[in-house]
Amino acid sequence: MKRFFLLLGLTFLLAACGGDSGSRNSDTASATTPRVNSVLSTRQAKQLFGGMENGSRQSAAAYGSYAKGCAAGAVQLPETGPTWQAMRLSRNRNWGLPITVDFLQDLSRIAAREPGWNGLYVGDISQPRGGPMLTGHRSHQIGLDADIWMRPADRLNLSRADRENMSSISLRRSNGAFTNDNWTKSHHNIIKAAASDPRVARIFVFPGAKVAMCNAETGDRSYLRKIRPWYGHHYHFHVRLACPRGMRGCVDQDPPPRGDGCADAQAWVNNILNPPPPDPNAPAPKPRRELRLADLPAQCETVLSAN
């Protein structure tokens, strides 16, 4: 009941601010629609988008960037399929643009060919209308990011309770400098297949995994360019799709540097094993301000208010 009144109040507020609450196919805010500058614009965007239970009935579109945007026309990855299961269903984050859902289903079929894998356990994708999340990620806002568990999906009949309580497995050793005994050739093959897909822009893994793949690869190394070392990412790997061609309003990340990126990953490992001394002149980190609705692309107001 509390959620109902929250959403009802949001609908009235957006309507009062000129939001298009009746359009099913509006991809852009009207030129005559002012940006929200009422009390709604001061609300944290994560509260507004985190309260949405369903996607907007609009044409599929990503607005803004991976860490500052929203998603129109997102669709839900079914909770269970022939070669996948969506995890942590209580979060309601198994939503993405149709291209993302198609990619995950395609990759899950590839994973099902690996020994001990019947498919994939899929973690967070996006909220029903994207946007900043109530907890966790800074990215995953435009329906083009997805987390895939490192744990082999050996069972595809998990209950909702199972999916809330079981955990993935860590593949790192020595704070991420190396892989541990959980790392297998199948992990290499699945991540390689994902990176080889032309829809994919980047994959984030812990540094030791990238170095392990660099050392093991004896064939075409071009796919390694997309695999980037990043903090964490030892319980899951993070796939980021490129903006679909012709999707105006979607902001791509700059392409990865040229080359296979193996030297860069080794530098990460070296810094883990031998941390550089702290810079005494480095400025103190500033607290990050929470995003407001007015910080997001103008189209996100229409995404919130649609249907």
Q: Give the pLDDT band (50/70/90) at residue 123.
A: very high
Nearest to 304 by CA among 5, 39, 31, 63: 63
> CATH assignment of 33-275, given 3.20.20.70, 3.30.1380.10, 3.30.1060.10, 1.50.10.20?
3.30.1380.10
Phi-psi region of 46 (alpha: psi -120 to 50; beta: other; left: phi over 0): alpha
Torsion of CA 64, 65, 70, 73, to 10 degrees: 80
Which of 54, 23, 214, 58 lies closest to 127, judged by CA? 54
Report the alpha-carbon distance of residue 81 to residue 69 in Å, rounded. Answer: 29
Per DSSP, 113 falls in state T
pLDDT digits (tens, 9 = 90+) for 68-100: 999 999 999 999 999 999 999 999 999 999 999
Residue with tokens 């909220």: 127
In DSSP terms, which residues pair with 216 in a beta bridge?
none
pLDDT tens readout for residues 8-38: 445 434 433 333 333 333 333 333 334 444 4
Mean pLDDT of 55-68: 97
Phi/psi for 289 (5° steps) reads -75, 140
H-run or E-run covering 88: none
Round the CA-based radius of gyration of the chain to a whole number and report it: 20
Q: Is the dihedral of CA 253, 259, 262, 265 positive or negative?
A: negative
Buried b (16+ CB within 10 A) or exposed e, 167-191: ebebbbbeebbbbeeebbeebbebb
Measured CA to CA, the distance from residue 105 to residue 77 in angstroms comes to 9
Could you tell me the sign of the dihedral formed by the alpha carbons of 244, 35, 47, 57, in that order?
negative
Q: Which of 162-166, 237-241, 255-259, 274-278 has the lowest mean pLDDT?
A: 274-278
pLDDT in tens, 129-182: 999 998 877 889 999 999 999 999 999 999 999 999 999 999 999 999 999 999
Check residue 17 and give its pLDDT.
37
